[in-house]
């Protein structure tokens, strides 16, 4: 009886089975709540990340092409930003010592300091140089009075009291000073980072090379989009979900299609993929059914270190290696593959890219629902968050089955229900927004 693993029974002489001694060892599946010998989500994340070896190869890229990539070098400012002391306003540059303490004073205006066309003569005592936003401060000037707060009359300007020395002036190096560390290696570059790099005058940066990620689905029942469906067949959605998820991580994708439930076919694709990819991701075939061959194929070629998790949706998940290449086998149910992909694959790949802060972020919201079915597994419920009088209220999708993929489109993120926990309406719960994950 493959995979049934009956134990402890005796065959009597009469040919009858002693039912009192018969026991069944439960095997892991997505829905079995009786098996308690499972890793927690936290333990699984720690173990999967402990085995990560970040890539070491790097390449030089133009700054504009480096968005989303991970720095392979420390960035130190080669210049002062801004490079010169300048005005934060359109107005008049003066010496603070010349400003009236009371009443109004008239200042002659010898010229104008424009952005990019500075007034190069030192300011004389009692003078006011007109200055534009970004214009370099004239030598000797230390204060700018906004043009809305003066009266201009030809070549003179009248300035009153009540101004503060140094106002409306941006000092050289106020943003970044020469030699100041700006970014550490291992930072994933954002749009704001790209702007800062440009402000330093850097045309290129060194980033870690793209990960090569091979992925495929398994199952005799799967068909590609556009193909006609036969009896018992379904379209392969997991590969498309994975493609979208992985694309957002800036990796090089190697789509290996659908592999049929044949052990030899799986061994071949794992062997081939291990030679061309940094990591291989699969969906389906990781449980203990007679046609679930992924786990066994990996064991025959390499090793497996983990595959049973205390999580819902999910649980069967393979982490192994073939010829040194990491293999992550996700469950076949669409929502299970989606959730475990976010919780395990995404952090794994981010750490392989050289990042350190890789686990999903969450924040507390108020439950607009009840959850009265405590289980031994940590549950991740598809949820929407609405604003009600300034308070974030989470509502959950009414059908939380692991095959209801459309619920992930309805949801804004995942509400986390810890093990052995119930939730009453109004309780505080943790929420993981998809905006942080996708």
**pLDDT tens per residue across span 146-191:** 999 999 999 999 999 999 999 999 999 999 999 999 999 999 999 9
Determine, yes or no, domain membership for 5: no
224 lies in the same domain as 329: yes
Determine, yes or no, domain membership for 278: yes
Determine, yes or no, domain membership for 19: no
254 lies in the same domain as 161: no
Contact of 219 with 257, CB cutoff 8 Å: no
Residue 174 has what pLDDT?
A: 95
Considering 301, 318, 352, which residue would you say is the last residue of a domain? 352
* CB within 8 Å of 226: residues ≥ 6 apart: none
Distance, CA of 30 to chain centre: 26
> Which H helix or E strand runs over 408?
helix 406-410
114 lies in the same domain as 200: no
pLDDT tens for the 438 residues of the chain, in order: 332 322 232 333 334 444 444 555 545 444 444 444 688 999 999 999 997 989 989 999 999 999 999 999 999 999 999 999 999 999 999 999 999 999 999 999 999 999 999 999 999 999 999 999 999 999 999 999 999 999 999 999 999 999 999 999 999 999 999 999 999 999 999 999 999 999 999 999 999 999 999 999 999 999 999 999 999 999 999 999 999 999 989 899 999 999 998 899 999 999 999 999 999 999 988 776 655 688 889 999 999 887 789 999 988 888 999 999 999 999 999 999 999 999 999 999 999 999 988 999 999 999 999 999 898 999 999 999 999 999 999 999 999 999 999 999 999 999 999 999 999 999 999 999 998 888
Determine, yes or no, domain membership for 4: no
pTM: 0.81
Query: Which residue from 355, 362, 318 is spatially nearest to 340, judged by alpha carbons?
Result: 318
Residue 306 has what pLDDT?
A: 74
144 lies in the same domain as 157: yes
203 lies in the same domain as 214: no
229 lies in the same domain as 316: yes
| Alpha-carbon gap, residue 430 to 380, rounded angstroms | 10
222 lies in the same domain as 325: yes
Determine, yes or no, domain membership for 290: yes
| Alpha-carbon gap, residue 115 to 89, rounded angstroms | 11
Considering 208, 224, 254, which residue would you say is the last residue of a domain? 208
| Alpha-carbon gap, residue 408 to 235, rounded angstroms | 17
Determine, yes or no, domain membership for 276: yes
Contact of 80 with 178, CB cutoff 8 Å: yes
Determine, yes or no, domain membership for 259: yes
- Supply the range of the domain harboring residue 194: 58-80+177-208
Domain with residue 63: its CATH number is 3.90.105.10
197 lies in the same domain as 135: no
380 lies in the same domain as 297: no
Domain with residue 417: its CATH number is 2.40.340.10
Considering 286, 320, 352, which residue would you say is the last residue of a domain? 352
| Alpha-carbon gap, residue 431 to 408, rounded angstroms | 14
Domain with residue 135: its CATH number is 2.170.190.11
192 lies in the same domain as 318: no
256 lies in the same domain as 311: yes
Determine, yes or no, domain membership for 265: yes
265 lies in the same domain as 324: yes
Count: domains in the chain: 4
């Amino acid at each position: 009886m493959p995979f049934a693993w009956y134990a402890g029974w005796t065959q009597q002489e009469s040919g009858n089975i002693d039912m009192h001694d018969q026991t069944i060892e439960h095997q892991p599946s997505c829905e079995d709540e009786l098996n308690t010998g499972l890793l927690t989500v936290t333990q699984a994340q720690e173990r999967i990340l402990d085995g990560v070896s970040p890539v070491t190869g790097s390449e030089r890229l133009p700054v504009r092409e480096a968005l989303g990539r991970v720095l392979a070098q420390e960035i130190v400012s080669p210049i002062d930003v801004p490079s010169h002391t300048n005005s934060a306003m359109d107005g008049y540059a003066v010496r603070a010592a010349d400003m009236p303490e009371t009443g109004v004073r008239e200042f002659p205006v010898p010229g104008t300091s424009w952005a990019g066309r500075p007034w190069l003569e030192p300011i004389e005592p009692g003078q006011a140089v007109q200055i534009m936003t970004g214009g370099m401060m004239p030598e000797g000037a230390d204060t700018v009075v906004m043009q809305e707060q003066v009266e201009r009359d030809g070549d003179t300007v009248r300035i009153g009291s009540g101004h503060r020395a140094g106002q409306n002036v941006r000092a050289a190096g106020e943003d970044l000073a020469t030699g100041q560390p700006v970014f550490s290696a291992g930072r994933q570059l954002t749009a704001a980072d790209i702007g800062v790099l440009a402000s330093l005058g850097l045309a290129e940066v060194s980033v870690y090379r793209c990960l090569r990620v091979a992925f495929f689905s398994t199952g005799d029942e799967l068909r590609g989009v556009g193909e006609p469906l036969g009896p018992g067949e379904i379209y392969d959605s997991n590969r498309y979900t994975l493609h979208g998820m992985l694309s957002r991580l800036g990796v090089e994708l190697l789509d290996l299609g659908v592999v049929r439930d044949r052990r030899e076919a799986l061994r071949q694709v794992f062997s081939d993929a291990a030679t061309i990819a940094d990591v291989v991701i699969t969906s389906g075939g990781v449980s203990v059914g007679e046609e679930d061959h992924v786990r066994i194929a990996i064991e025959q070629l390499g090793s497996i270190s983990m595959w049973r998790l205390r999580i819902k949706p999910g649980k069967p998940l393979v982490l192994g290696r073939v010829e040194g290449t990491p293999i992550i086998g996700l469950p076949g149910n669409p929502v299970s593959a989606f959730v475990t992909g976010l919780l395990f694959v995404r952090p794994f790949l981010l750490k392989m890219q050289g990042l350190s802060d890789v686990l999903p972020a969450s924040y507390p919201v108020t439950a607009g629902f009840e959850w009265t079915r405590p289980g031994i597994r940590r549950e991740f419920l598809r949820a929407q968050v609405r604003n009600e009088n300034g308070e974030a209220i989470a509502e959950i999708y009414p059908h939380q089955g692991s095959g209801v993929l459309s619920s992930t489109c309805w949801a804004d993120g995942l509400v986390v229900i810890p093990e052995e926990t119930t939730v009453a309406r109004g309780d505080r719960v943790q929420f993981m927004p998809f905006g942080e994950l996708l």
